[in-house]
Copies of this chain bind each other. A is one copy, B any other.
Amino acid sequence: MSNRIITISREFGSGGRTIGRQTAEKLGLPCYDQELIEEIAQESGLNKDFIKEKGEYAPRSSLFANSFYYDRSYGGFSVQDLLWQSQRKVILNLADKGPCVIVGRCADYILQDRHDLLKVFVYASMEKREERILKVYGESEEAAVKRLQEKDKRRRAYYRLYTDLEWGVAQNYHIALNSGVLGIDRCVDILVSLY
């Protein structure tokens, strides 16, 4: 197994992004995370805020969700679909450029046909993620919990819609790490050792 490209899927608040950044840094690789948004904006012509909000999450309201599904079911091409296509193209291009770490945005699925891929899932218990969000984002406890549950739900729905796979099921990844138990540093060490 060669793994020139590492994709990191992560639960909100699990520190997956930090693990991606630190792993890339230790390996001397580029890490694409927020950088993807800039590239996707250029590719699609879409607004960066829209990409940030819609590029990993299913829509919030059930009304919009219906129109979102409707578009797809009836062969229409929604703005969300345009975003998905652009996101896909950007990720395929970046992977072709050379070794890298890519955080989120269904990169594991988009790059699944490559043989040089290490697919990582990072997760943690709700308590540990709440703790981390409070520490990193400084939010009130109540708001943090609310955001956690909503983000998980919307990421799961988005992933299922575009990949037909279940988000967070071990079998879809090469390694799954509980960052709350193992700690960020140990997760980084494992990924560096696997590269």
A residues with a Cβ closer than 8 A to B are 1, 118, 121, 123, 125, 168-171, 173-178, 181-183, 186, 189-190, 193-194
Contacts of A173 in B (CB 8 A): 170, 176, 178
Contacts of A177 in B (CB 8 A): 175
A194 to B177, CA, bound (A): 12
Name the CB-closest residue of B to A126.
B171
A182–B190 CB distance below 8 A: no
A170 to B190, CA, bound (A): 17
The 10 closest A-B pairs by CB, nearest first: A176-B176, A170-B176, A170-B170, A174-B178, A174-B181, A190-B190, A168-B170, A1-B181, A123-B171, A121-B170
Task: List 11 other contacts, CB 8 Å, given A121-B176, A175-B177, A175-B178.
Answer: A1-B181, A1-B182, A118-B181, A125-B171, A169-B169, A170-B178, A173-B176, A174-B178, A175-B176, A175-B182, A193-B193
Which of A118, A168, A173, A181 gathers the greatest number of chain B CB atoms within 10 Å? A181
Can you name 21 A-B residue pairings with CB atoms under 8 Å?
Answer: A1-B181, A1-B182, A1-B183, A118-B181, A123-B171, A125-B171, A168-B170, A169-B170, A170-B170, A170-B173, A171-B178, A173-B178, A174-B178, A174-B181, A175-B175, A175-B176, A175-B177, A175-B178, A186-B194, A190-B193, A193-B193
Task: Please tell me how many copies of the chain the complex holds.
Answer: 2
Tell me how far the C-beta of A19 lies from the nearest C-beta in chain B, rounded to whole angstroms.
13
A121 to B121, CA, bound (A): 13
Given contacts A168-B169, A169-B168, are A182 and B186 in contact (CB under 8 A)?
no
Name the CB-closest residue of B to A3.
B181
Contacts of A186 in B (CB 8 A): 194
Name the CB-closest residue of B to A186.
B194
